[in-house]
Structure 1
């Protein structure tokens, strides 16, 4: 019953955030705020830490939504909670724009298992991943960029959606997609997407 009002309330908050015309924000202040994220999410938003996603090149609205979900408690993470409790709506808008403007991570090493990638590509087609994440898996609006994301993070995210641990945003759609995936399909899909 409680979940019925949470999503409309969050939608209202985010629509208010995105519709509000941000004043001339100080670029140095935005960069300083974003640098607080680099301890986990990496310099220039490219994670070097296992199970921590890269933020560089994520769509602006996606970043905003996730920060709102973390701040409201719809998404839970013990490392994120103390951080999001201290950010303002303006910070959320600015951080979304900042990370969206950064160059997304590039695949740093060649695909060491093209057969696994082929299986992952088949799983992506079978689950119609491109219908939300776009044909290049670069994401759009409030939908995540998954191309080039950390492989082990993608595995974790898919398992979290499958088990219902992860909620907020596209939780219902992603749970429907992830639930029937086998562990082998999750591994293949994550491998394929990480090497795009």
Structure 2
């Protein structure tokens, strides 16, 4: 039943975005709810909270639908998503996608770890979904320049099966066999990419 509900909501949100253009001004106004955690200009300064600036529109929309339906859990997000409707989701997706993404963490204080991360990225074929620049596309997340500790958290959640939502099956397959060293190297490399 929950899967059917998520599917219906997803079609209403993502499909509806083709019928109506998003309102960036409305998205910016609604994004004020997000600033406290996700930061000014949607670039997080808070540990374990992702930056949303530059994330693909559809990715943001899907994640909000997953949070709102309860298929993706977050105590912090639940009270927020209860306050938004489908138009808000469409507008937030477009607004966050319109923002300049965060710059990669500089300087790279551990180039050897980044080199191991580059090898892990190639071996796990991360670019096949996240693109060669790791900027994401459509419903696939931007991971380039994301907060390092958040990337660690996300990879651990995929590996353990705690995180669900779009891409779960693909990410679980990729993350499950990763060693702790590979997870650390991947997160470091992508944060500095």
Change (3 A) 1:26 1:52: closer
Contact 2:24/2:95, CA 8 A, preserved across alignment = no
Contact 1:22/1:90, CA 8 A, preserved across alignment = no
Which residue number corresponds to residue 82 of structure 2? Answer: 85
Which residue number corresponds to residue 16 of structure 1? Answer: 12
Equivalent runs, 1:1-196 vs 2, <5 Å: 6-7=2-3, 9-20=5-16, 21-22=19-20, 25=23, 27=25, 29-196=26-193
Give TM-score, length-normalised by structure 2: 0.94
Tell me how large the CA RMSD over aligned residues is: 1.5
Change (3 A) 1:159 1:23: closer
CA distance in 1, matches of 2:191, 2:61: 23
CA distance in 1, matches of 2:30, 2:14: 19
Shift in Å, 1:7: 4.2
Aligned residues: 191
Structure 1 unaligned residues grouped into runs of 5+? none
Contact 1:45/1:55, CA 8 A, preserved across alignment = yes
Shift in Å, 1:141: 0.2
Give TM-score, length-normalised by structure 1: 0.93
Structure 2 unaligned residues grouped into runs of 5+? none
Change (3 A) 1:23 1:127: closer
CA distance in 2, matches of 1:24, 1:170: 24
Change (3 A) 1:24 1:163: closer
Shift in Å, 1:11: 3.4
Q: Note the alpha carbon deviations across 1:153-191, whole angstroms, 9 max, x for none.
A: 000000000011101111111111001001110000000
Q: Secondary structure at the match of 1:36?
A: helix
